[in-house]
Amino acid sequence: MRQPITALMRTPAEVQDIHRSAARPDLPFFAAGACHVLAFAFLERYPRAGFQPRFIRPAPGCRGAHVFVSDSQLAFDAQGYVAEAELLRGHALACQQLHPGWAAEVVAIEVPLAAFCAANNHRAPWDFPGDVWAWALAYLSSFPAPPRSVLHARSGEE
């Protein structure tokens, strides 16, 4: 059962203090605050799985930005695999309860992680305390690889 993103968001104190934010358990940390790092770590680990990074960009004045990877059907984020439509629906419902009138656009990320971070006010991996990239790769190990049917379809194998 997926938790609503609002249950995993950083507190104002965690937003201001990266050490406090990074001291959270894996799920909240990679769900809100370092979701972009996890998404790009996924792409490094599974480069032929056919997933692309996507960004939920809230309208100005709204919280709830989120980065995940998707093959247009199946999505992956800190809570694991889910249908992309379900991820987007659940995210929007949770954010609308927090902020009536919440709206966002979902955009493909077509630049490297560092460029995304610079353009969207996200911390680059080297701006976190410790080795957040290694942490993200270790966290990914707690999930199965993308379904074999996805991998085979992308590589042309049957």
Low-confidence ranges of the chain (pLDDT < 70): 148-158
pLDDT at residue number 110: 97
| Residue 46: both structure tokens together | 């599974």
Q: Are the CB atoms for 76 and 66 separated by under 8 Å?
A: no
pLDDT at residue number 150: 52
Instruction: Tell me the per-residue pLDDT of 49-94, one tens digit each, with 9 for 90 and over.
Output: 999 999 999 999 898 999 999 999 999 999 999 999 999 999 999 9
User: Of the candidates 118, 113, 94, 112, which has an alpha carbon nearest to the alpha carbon of residue 104?
Assistant: 94
Cα 128 to Cα 158: distance, rounded to the nearest angstrom: 41
Cα 7 to Cα 20: distance, rounded to the nearest angstrom: 17
Cα 71 to Cα 151: distance, rounded to the nearest angstrom: 11
Q: Is 156 exposed, middle or buried (0-12, 13-18, 19+ CB in 10 A)?
A: exposed
Cα 1 to Cα 19: distance, rounded to the nearest angstrom: 29
pLDDT at residue number 102: 95
pLDDT at residue number 148: 66
